[in-house]
Each structure stands twice: as structure tokens, then as C-alpha cells.
Amino acid sequence: MKSLFKTENQQTILNRIKNLTETSQPSWGKMDVAQMLTHCQKPLEVANGTLQLNTKIGFAKKLLFKLFKSAMYNDKPWQKNLGTVREFRVTDAQGFATQKEKLVQAINEFSKLKDKTSWPTHPFFGDFTTEQWGKMQYKHLDHHLTQFGV
């Protein structure tokens, strides 16, 4: 799996974002392009430490999330129409240009953290290594950019 910590992968993602337009349409899912750009910022903000989720999950859900943890960063693409956690859902109208710029900024901030050794604990999946964070962020962005055909 590619990592957002590799400069060439970061640049590829940024170029794909640049190719989005306000009229880009999804191949699946309910979000419009501006909502997707906002949604994609959320996991980066968790990793960057600028978004803390106060999510309490029970033992059974914690166990379930642990079973699927490697799916967050392995080489297998995510399925279309996967559900998303409530905290990352975006249903209200968003400004395309503003959210596009915010996502680029979040990616650039995250990419500066490639030498970081202490990461926040993910609210659902627990601890990730730096390598896993880089792969997970790339995979999430790739998933949604593919959703919008770029």
C-alpha cells in the first residue's frame, strides 16, 4: 500500500484533488464533492491531533474494530458504499473551493509528520504506527478520489 508520507504519493493525491471540479459527480455514495472534501479532512485532523473524538464504544464493538484494523492500511481496496462513523459524516452544504483548500492544507500538515513517533490513539482502532497512519490516510483519500473519478 502506498503511503501519504512518500512525497511522490502525496503529490499524486494533490494532483488528483486539483482535478476535482465543483461539478464532479460520485460513482457511488451520497456525498457531493464538497462534502467529500470535508469528510476527507476528518481522519487527517484526528492524526494531526487537531480533532479529538469523544467516542465511547463498548467492548464488543472494540473487539470488532480490532478484527478489521488491518483493513484500514492493507493493500485491499475498500468496498464501495462502506458506512462511515457518525463523527465523519457530512450532510450539510459545504463550500467547494474552501473545503478543497482546507483538505490540501490538512494533507500538507499530515505529510510533515513522517518522522513522528507518538501518535494519538485512534478512537475506534487503537494505536497505529507511523507507517500504518501514512498508508491509512493514503488509502482513504484514494478511495474517495476514485469515487469522484480522479
pLDDT computed for residue 17 by the predictor: 98
* CA pair distance 62, 77, nearest whole angstrom: 22
Per-residue tens of pLDDT for the chain, all 150 residues: 999 999 999 999 999 999 999 999 999 999 999 999 999 999 999 999 888 877 777 778 778 888 889 999 999 989 898 888 888 999 999 999 999 999 999 999 999 999 999 998 887 888 999 999 999 999 999 999 999 999
Cα-flanking dihedrals φ and ψ of residue 126, to 5°? 90, -145
pLDDT computed for residue 37 by the predictor: 98
pLDDT computed for residue 61 by the predictor: 76
Look up the pTM and report it. Answer: 0.93
pLDDT computed for residue 121 by the predictor: 85
Closest Cα to residue 119, out of 111, 129, 109, 108? 129
Grid cell locating 6: 512518500
pLDDT computed for residue 102 by the predictor: 98
**Cell match 450532510: residue?**
91
Grid cell locating 81: 458504499
Grid cell locating 77: 481496496
Query: By the 8 A CB rule, do 124 and 43 touch?
Result: no
